[in-house]
């Protein structure tokens, strides 16, 4: 039998312990991150948020009075009502409205005068104040003769439309009640991409439906006056006007749009940032309308190629394509082809930022702006006017090539290398094109044709060199490096554009 003396065993154990300790002392310490590996995070629990916010979320049902043929042949489900309903949902969601709930009250009530009350649409909203101001989308209440607000406790109120702003799709309605549950407004500036958010609304008329997801992007440009919040929260017809809620139970946006190729939800939805919506709502509550500034320019993006070719460096600012006659911009000396890089001291990185800055400026204010023109920066002062009330803008008629006389054509070998033949402008043509000088394109071939230049265009600058006549045009062309893209500033009708004539490839 194998036996070991206890003292020997203890001695061996002590020796082994010392050996292990010594080895540990010689072994490099393990990295700290290995000792504190990140713990897996559990999915968020939205139950408390739902209990907290849902009492302040409302269903909004709208109706309109339509005159329909009276008599035995007029059925209760007439075509005009169906067409209006379908158009409403095609317009805002790309899908037809499903059949209404048969238990819903007041589907249609004919009266002796031949007026029918037709359901127009269904949406969502949320209570801003205890005394009954409710925020929703402008398209939810557009064209409505009656707005019915249903609370989460099933109480119904007829609402008065305080004001609606189509440009931002924000509306405020008022119900006569007191002591109502209301939302808390969050700070949109604290919102981060990847953050969990939740929506509550009435998709397809299903009240108090909760969906959740994350913030996919911030400042997404899809409109003139709003940088939208993009999320993957499921939004469907009826969610419009409902709140987008952060994990602190605060409203950070109004669910407004979806992107869809099929008409159904595809994982991309957009919400109006609450800071922008609040600014609009305050004006609507105060005056029933929104006052915005304007300077009277039509703008476009500045491409990287154009920015590099004219010495702007990186693509920034807003390219002025047209200046309205008699506008503040014209009075300030802004010209078509200018690139506005700053407005009231704030740099403009993208063209879409300019309408927001101008629109949020109080009409009558005098502000400074910086433009890039002919290779240099210059500061101009402009007095902001008030934009006209919302209306459908009339399309600017397309003009043919400026008329007036037949001046002799003038070309040069230098100009021909660009594929251009040009001629002098008559005084009548200058007035027609609203330019002080330039040359008229008679023919465009090869590189010029590939760039998009065509007969009748008026060239006002080659690169950063202004041209007033054929002589100046030829001199400017002779100086450019034709192995690189040549930027051409031209006027076509009332619009200015930069086009690049690129060297031919061998």
Q: Give the active site residues.
A: 139, 169, 240
Phi then psi for 306, rounded to 5 degrees? -65, -45
N- to C-terminal Cα separation, the chain: 97
d(CA 103, CA 217): 40
Other beta carbons within 10 angstroms of residue 166's beta carbon come to 13
Contact between 242 and 57 under an 8 Å Cβ cutoff? The reply is: yes
Q: In terms of Cα–Cα distance, which of 386, 345, 346 is closest to 362?
A: 386
One-character DSSP codes across 354-396: HHHHHHTSPTT-EEEEEEEETTEEEEEEEE-EEPPPS-PPPPP
Q: In terms of Cα–Cα distance, which of 333, 334, 496, 503 is closest to 419?
A: 503
Q: Which residue has the tokens 């760039």?
A: 451
State how beta strands 250-258 and 184-185 pair.
Answer: parallel
Q: Is 166 left (phi over 0), alpha (psi -120 to 50) or beta?
A: alpha
Q: How far from 14 is each of 26, 97, 256, CA to CA, in Å?
A: 19, 83, 74
Say which residues have a Cβ less than 8 Å from residue 402's Cβ, sequence separation at least 6. 425, 428, 429, 430, 432, 433, 440, 456, 458
Contact between 257 and 170 under an 8 Å Cβ cutoff? The reply is: no
One-character DSSP codes across 53-98: HGGGEEEEEEEEEEE---STT--TT-HHHHHHHHHHHHHHHSSPPP
d(CA 455, CA 485): 20
- DSSP character for 204? G
Say which residues have a Cβ less than 8 Å from residue 13's Cβ, sequence separation at least 6. none
**If you count them, how many residues does the chain have?**
506
């Amino acid at each position: 039998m194998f036996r070991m003396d206890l003292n020997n065993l203890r001695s061996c154990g002590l020796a082994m312990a010392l050996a292990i300790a010594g080895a540990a002392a010689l072994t490099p310490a393990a990295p700290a991150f290995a000792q504190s590996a990140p713990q897996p995070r559990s999915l968020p629990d939205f139950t408390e948020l739902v209990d907290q916010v849902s009492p302040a979320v409302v269903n909004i049902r709208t109706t309109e009075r339509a005159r329909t043929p009276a008599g035995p042949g007029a059925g209760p489900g007439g075509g005009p009502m169906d067409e209006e309903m379908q158009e409403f949902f095609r317009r805002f969601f790309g899908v037809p409205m499903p059949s209404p709930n048969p238990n819903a009250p007041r589907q249609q009530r004919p009266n002796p005068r031949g007026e029918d009350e037709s359901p127009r649409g269904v949406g969502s909203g949320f209570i801003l104040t205890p005394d009954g101001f409710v925020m929703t989308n402008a398209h939810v209440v557009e064209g409505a003769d009656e707005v019915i607000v249903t609370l989460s406790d099933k109480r119904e109120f007829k609402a008065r439309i305080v004001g609606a702003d189509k440009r931002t799709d924000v509306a405020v309605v008022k119900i006569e009640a007191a002591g109502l549950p209301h939302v808390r407004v969050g700070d949109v500036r604290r919102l981060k991409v990847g953050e969990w958010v939740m929506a509550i609304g009435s998709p397809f008329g299903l009240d108090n439906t909760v969906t959740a997801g994350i913030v996919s992007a911030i400042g997404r440009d899809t409109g003139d006056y709003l940088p939208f919040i993009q999320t993957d929260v499921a939004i469907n017809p009826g969610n419009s006007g409902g709140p987008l809620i952060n994990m602190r139970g605060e409203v950070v946006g109004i669910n407004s749009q979806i992107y869809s190729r099929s008409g159904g939800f595809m994982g991309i939805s957009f919400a109006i940032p609450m800071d922008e919506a609040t600014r609009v709502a305050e004006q609507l509550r105060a005056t029933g309308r929104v006052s915005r500034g304007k300077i009277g320019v039509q703008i476009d993006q500045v491409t990287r190629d154009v920015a590099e070719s004219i010495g702007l460096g990186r693509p920034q600012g807003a390219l002025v394509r047209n200046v309205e006659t008699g506008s503040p911009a014209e009075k300030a000396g802004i010209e078509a082809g200018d690139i506005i890089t700053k407005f009231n001291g704030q740099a403009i990185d993208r063209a879409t930022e300019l309408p927001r800055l101008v629109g949020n400026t109080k009409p009558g204010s005098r502000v400074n702006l910086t433009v890039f023109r002919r290779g240099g920066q210059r500061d101009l002062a402009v007095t902001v006017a008030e934009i006209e009330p919302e209306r459908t803008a009339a399309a600017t008629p397309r003009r043919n090539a400026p008329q007036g006389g037949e001046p002799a054509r003038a070309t040069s070998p230098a100009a021909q290398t660009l594929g251009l033949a040009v001629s002098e402008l008559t005084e009548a043509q200058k007035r027609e094109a609203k330019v002080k000088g330039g040359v008229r394109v008679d023919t465009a071939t090869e590189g010029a044709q590939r760039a998009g230049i065509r007969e009748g265009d008026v060239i006002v600058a080659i690169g950063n060199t202004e041209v007033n006549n054929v002589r100046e045009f030829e001199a400017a062309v002779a100086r450019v490096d034709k192995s690189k893209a040549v930027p051409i500033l031209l006027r076509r009708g009332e619009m200015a554009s930069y086009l690049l004539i690129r060297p031919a490839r061998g």
